[in-house]
A and B are shown apart, each in its own frame.
Chain A
Amino acid sequence: MFRLNLKIALRNLWRNKTITAINVGGLAIALAAFILVTMYFTYETSFDKTNPNYKKVYVVGITYPEFKTNYTAAPFAKAIKQNFPEVESAGIIKEGSFELTIKNGKNTLFTKNILAVDYNAAKILDIKPENGLVKPEGDTERLNYLSSKSMKILFPNKTDNKPEIVGYGASNSGITGIIAGSIKNNLHSNFTFDGISIASQLGTGDNYDMNDYTIYIQLKPGTDVADLERKITALYRTELLKSKTDKKAIDELKGISTFLDPLSNQHLRPKAGNDAPYKILIALSVLGIFILVIACINFTNLSIAQAAKRAKEVGIKKVMGAYRSQLTVQFLAEIFIQCFVATIFALILAELVLPYFNSLFQIPLSIWYISNDLFWQLPLILCLITIIAGIYPALALSGFKPALVLKGNFSASKQSSWLRNGLLVFQFSIAVIFIIGLLIINAQLKYMRSQDLGFTANQVVYIKNITIFNKPDKFEPVRDKILKIPGIKSATVATFIPGGTNGVNSYTANGLKANIDFVDVDFDYLKTLDLKLKEGRFFSNEFKTDTLNAAVINESAVVKYGIKHPIGETIRGCNIDYKIVGVIKDFKTQGFESPVQPTIYTIRNPCGGYKLQIMLKISENRMADALAALKAQWPQINPQDGEDFRYEFLDELYGKLFKKQEQLQSVFLAAAFLTIFIAILGLFAFAKYITTGRIKEIALRKILGASHLQIFKLINSSFFVMVLIANTISWPLAYILTKKWLETFAYRIELPLFPFLISAALTILLTIITVSIQANSAVKANPVDALKYE
């Protein structure tokens, strides 16, 4: 019996080839999208899950009145461990702050991130060198390991895991060190590195003012986290009190507390940071589910649409002695076959799209490996979609009364038309939302690309460097040498480059104390970045005091402090009274999402950072020559970096701020295409069914004198109304969603009207084309053929 049913199913599917292809194809495409999303979801939510302590590890972070941070003081880790028995272990880590060059003969490695960890942290975070985790001896020994990839660059022929001696910095620097072995850099972890440096203890000389480390603690099972959080806050305040005496500082302490943030939160939604990745992930998952549901709806829709054809079969089988349940199972099996085939196609499709998907999201996903969760998720999904897509038609079809369907003039279209129409409206609503979303994202991105940033990143080259140029007279000879190269217009050095984050410190002006951004710069900073001066002047060699206490602030800082005539006013910070010599117009160093921060620019700033970021403005037509000359002369210009001349273009670096939006744009582009494609597929089949059902009516109308155009109008009208309804439903939804999205930008477009109109025009046009193609055959047919058919 099963074999026979299978045969009937296959014959049936074969006979309705177009509809079967639409069903299976649409579902396969949607399923492929869903598979990718599922894999992405699994990947993103399982960072560090291989760590056996996964559920017990927490970050200790600090909440300040203005912000939250994971950076705390090293001694605090020890204090926590000593005071609270429920803390099994506490360790600290610190990310490398600058690039390091490591050499072995002619092989050079540039490391961006050498992670410094203490022994406890290595144990908590499951950081294991390949030859095992060893506790370094004494306070000073550091065991340095390089990631396997880095090791391969330095020692291409190395096969054992024995320690090696390497050189640091330029080859003439004479600094050497030992690499204890290699370590696997797990990309599926919050802790990625080029190398790792393990100490038995870190930050032993640090005090509570030096917030340079991140503390990880491992809790004993059954610990009350909220309670511990309160106790750690109390401890932190007590520890801070020890060094503070004045009343004001003590009052400030009340605004400071600590928090515990589980390891599982770190990748997607750390408390000290934003949860945008998490939101995007959820949005993406919802999207995947939506697309799949739409495809399932097509299925349901088409299966019901074919009901009239199958009704006779149901009636006959019932009078031959088939139970309703047997028929239900038969129909479900038929749908299962289609879903199964669709799943196989979906896997092939997903495999084909995966490289693009991986490069878009910069992840290393693959389908074919044994422990892939997909292998148990997929059968589950298959059963789920079979039930979603099949249960209604299976029940509806198997419920037909034989006496009705066998009389011959049975029509199934009436009883479920509201449902089918509703489903179609739903599909189009979602498609419309994605079209509007896509258009608005496009508009915002276009705006971001065309807007005046306030500075020019084009033709600015950023050179990586490890020499500290905090004193202008140290940089002067370097600048002189650089400027001798033809094509280089200006050169400067600063602590931070536009596109990265600036430092924050507290400054007082106009009687107001506030935390504002600072950037320590050198002469020609304004010229190199092409900043616009609002009033006053920028730093200049001609003024001797500029290297001592001159400051330039931006417009936002003027507003923040409420200074009426800023030039000549004093702004105090780091125990220096700076004189404001100029005000520059705001420029968007942080992209478009956050507003320009009040910022102070100074040459001398003992509390600042290292001036390492060299920036050059080079004229475009001599770019290649200038870069070649720089590379050749670099050992003379900057001996410490020696032969390791590396550069990036500032506009490319700044462009990375747009990356997230560009990702979103790609996702929406794909989603808009997919949803509209699937909706049109559904519409195509639905229209085919409707026109076949009305073939007799059309023939009669033609005999009564209706023109072709009138018949086209007649068939299109109901679909037209449905698409209009879909648009009406989606517009307010799309309006709310896109408005919310736009609100995440500090600089954004006004919500435009055209996406709404375009989406309506597009959907209506596509509907009319699709339906008319289907109606065409019915309209062209000879009425006699339709009428004699009985």
Chain B
Amino acid sequence: MIQLNNIEKYYANKGIKNYVLRLVTTTIKQGEFVSIMGPSGAGKSTLLNIIGMLEEPTYGSYEFLGEDVTSLNERKRIELYRNHIGFVFQAYHLIDEMTVYENIEAPLLYKKVGSSERASRIADLLDRFNIVAKKDLFPNQLSGGQQQLVGIARALAAQPSIILADEPTGNLQSAQAEEIMTLFKKLNQEDGITIIQVTHSEKNAQYGNRILHIADGVVKEDVAILS
């Protein structure tokens, strides 16, 4: 599904190249649950951003679903966002002016899903995540864990084939974090959604089936977890 070849990212400053990523080559298959781990400043988030096409690599090539997407125009990239990729953020990044319901509905509107289909999908998600009672509340009326649930529901609404999560539990207490990770695992195993997450926590990484260890921009280890 994802094929990265010799991805490099550096910032040139007065002729000196500051590398963030160096010659990253890896393949991520459909249905995998990959955790990217490493110390602060190792380049985890940058790698995820490149995979999510939010940043372009300085060097190397990137294939997504067999298509070269190394440098893609905005229109095509947005098509991929609409149909294949869902994002989950550490700070949840819900839109403050929208209710829970509207936040989940927004990607469907951009995807131009019909209104009855929209209603049923949202109802389904609300039900599945047990937040039906909260649908008319605004994000600031929810706890962090609940906000992240909405964030995930929103990412799932467009029925993506892959979810990219940047420290999804970073701002959460451990009980809530556990809930979110269990949910991810379930989504991965039951719905076959590919998940790539960046995390600091060894415990969270254990929910997945593969760990990429990164340090100083280089992939040090690629371990499979046998459950």
Interface, chain A (partner B; CB < 8 A): 1, 4, 7-8, 11-12, 15, 312-313, 315-324, 326, 401-403, 406-408
Nearest CB on A from B41, distance (A): 13
Inter-chain CA distance A320–B82, complex, in Å, is: 6
Select which of A8, A11, A315, A323 is within 8 A of B93 by beta carbon: A315
Q: B87 and A319: CB pair below 8 A?
A: yes
Interface, chain B (partner A; CB < 8 A): 45, 49, 52, 54-55, 74-75, 78-79, 81-82, 85, 87, 89, 91, 93-98, 102, 105-107, 109-111, 154, 158
Nearest CB on A from B153, distance (A): 13
Residues of B near A1 (CB, < 8 A) are 109-110
Q: A8 and B109: CB pair below 8 A?
A: no
- Across the interface, name the chain B residue whose C-beta is closest to A12: B97
Q: A319 and B52: CB pair below 8 A?
A: yes
Residues of B near A4 (CB, < 8 A) are 98, 102, 105-106, 109
Q: B97 and A321: CB pair below 8 A?
A: no
Q: A316 and B54: CB pair below 8 A?
A: no
Q: A322 and B95: CB pair below 8 A?
A: no
Q: B97 and A319: CB pair below 8 A?
A: no
Inter-chain CA distance A790–B180, complex, in Å, is: 22
Nearest CB on A from B73, distance (A): 11
Inter-chain CA distance A699–B75, complex, in Å, is: 43
Q: B93 and A316: CB pair below 8 A?
A: yes
- Across the interface, name the chain B residue whose C-beta is closest to A315: B93
Inter-chain CA distance A408–B93, complex, in Å, is: 9
Residue with the greatest number of chain A CB neighbours at <10 A, chosen from B45, B96, B97, B98: B97
Residues of B near A15 (CB, < 8 A) are 97
Select which of B55, B81, B87, B97 is within 8 A of A8 by beta carbon: B97
- Across the interface, name the chain A residue whose C-beta is closest to B110: A321
Residues of B near A315 (CB, < 8 A) are 93
Nearest CB on A from B103, distance (A): 9
Residues of B near A322 (CB, < 8 A) are 78, 110
Q: B55 and A321: CB pair below 8 A?
A: no
Inter-chain CA distance A321–B109, complex, in Å, is: 9
Return 21 A-B CB contacts under 8 Å, by A number: A4-B102, A4-B109, A8-B95, A8-B97, A15-B97, A312-B95, A313-B95, A313-B97, A317-B106, A318-B81, A319-B54, A320-B81, A320-B87, A320-B107, A321-B107, A321-B111, A321-B158, A323-B78, A401-B54, A403-B55, A406-B89
Chain A at the B interface: SS class: helix
Inter-chain CA distance A324–B81, complex, in Å, is: 13
- With contacts A12-B97, A406-B93 taken as known, whether A320 is within 8 angstroms of B106 at the C-beta atoms is yes
Inter-chain CA distance A512–B54, complex, in Å, is: 91
User: Assuming A316-B93, A321-B82, A403-B54, what are 20 further A-B pairs, CB within 8 angstroms?
Assistant: A1-B109, A1-B110, A4-B98, A4-B102, A4-B105, A7-B102, A8-B98, A11-B97, A312-B93, A313-B95, A313-B96, A317-B95, A317-B110, A318-B81, A319-B54, A319-B81, A319-B85, A321-B78, A321-B158, A406-B89
Q: A408 and B91: CB pair below 8 A?
A: yes
Residues of A near B106 (CB, < 8 A) are 4, 317, 320
- Across the interface, name the chain B residue whose C-beta is closest to A407: B45
Residues of A near B98 (CB, < 8 A) are 4, 7-8
Residues of B near A324 (CB, < 8 A) are 74
Residues of A near B97 (CB, < 8 A) are 7-8, 11-12, 15, 313
- Across the interface, name the chain A residue whose C-beta is closest to B95: A313
Residues of B near A8 (CB, < 8 A) are 95, 97-98
Nearest CB on A from B122, distance (A): 13
Nearest CB on B from A7, distance (A): 7
Nearest CB on B from A660, distance (A): 53
Residues of B near A317 (CB, < 8 A) are 95, 106, 110
Inter-chain CA distance A8–B49, complex, in Å, is: 28
Nearest CB on A from B94, distance (A): 8
Inter-chain CA distance A437–B54, complex, in Å, is: 54
Inter-chain CA distance A12–B95, complex, in Å, is: 11
- Across the interface, name the chain B residue whose C-beta is closest to A322: B110
- Across the interface, name the chain A residue whose C-beta is closest to B151: A316
Residues of B near A7 (CB, < 8 A) are 97-98, 102
Residues of B near A318 (CB, < 8 A) are 78, 81
Residues of B near A401 (CB, < 8 A) are 54
Residue with the greatest number of chain B CB neighbours at <10 A, chosen from A312, A321, A401, A402: A321
Nearest 9 Cβ contacts at the A-B interface: A321-B82, A403-B54, A321-B110, A320-B107, A11-B97, A1-B109, A321-B81, A8-B97, A319-B87
Nearest CB on A from B211, distance (A): 24
Residues of A near B55 (CB, < 8 A) are 403
Inter-chain CA distance A315–B78, complex, in Å, is: 12
Nearest CB on A from B44, distance (A): 13
Nearest CB on B from A315, distance (A): 7
Nearest CB on A from B118, distance (A): 11
Nearest CB on B from A322, distance (A): 5
- Across the interface, name the chain A residue whose C-beta is closest to B171: A790
Residues of B near A407 (CB, < 8 A) are 45
Inter-chain CA distance A765–B176, complex, in Å, is: 54
Residues of B near A320 (CB, < 8 A) are 81-82, 87, 106-107, 110, 154, 158
Nearest CB on B from A323, distance (A): 6
Residues of B near A323 (CB, < 8 A) are 74-75, 78
Residues of A near B93 (CB, < 8 A) are 312, 315-316, 406
Nearest CB on B from A333, distance (A): 14
Inter-chain CA distance A445–B102, complex, in Å, is: 63
- Across the interface, name the chain B residue whose C-beta is closest to A2: B109
- Across the interface, name the chain B residue whose C-beta is closest to A10: B97
Residues of B near A312 (CB, < 8 A) are 93, 95
Residues of B near A319 (CB, < 8 A) are 52, 54, 81, 85, 87
Residues of B near A403 (CB, < 8 A) are 49, 54-55
Residues of A near B96 (CB, < 8 A) are 313
Nearest CB on B from A787, distance (A): 18
Nearest CB on A from B134, distance (A): 18
- Across the interface, name the chain A residue whose C-beta is closest to B166: A406
Inter-chain CA distance A4–B49, complex, in Å, is: 29
Inter-chain CA distance A11–B97, complex, in Å, is: 6
Q: A316 and B95: CB pair below 8 A?
A: yes
Nearest CB on A from B225, distance (A): 28
Nearest CB on B from A318, distance (A): 7
Residues of B near A326 (CB, < 8 A) are 110
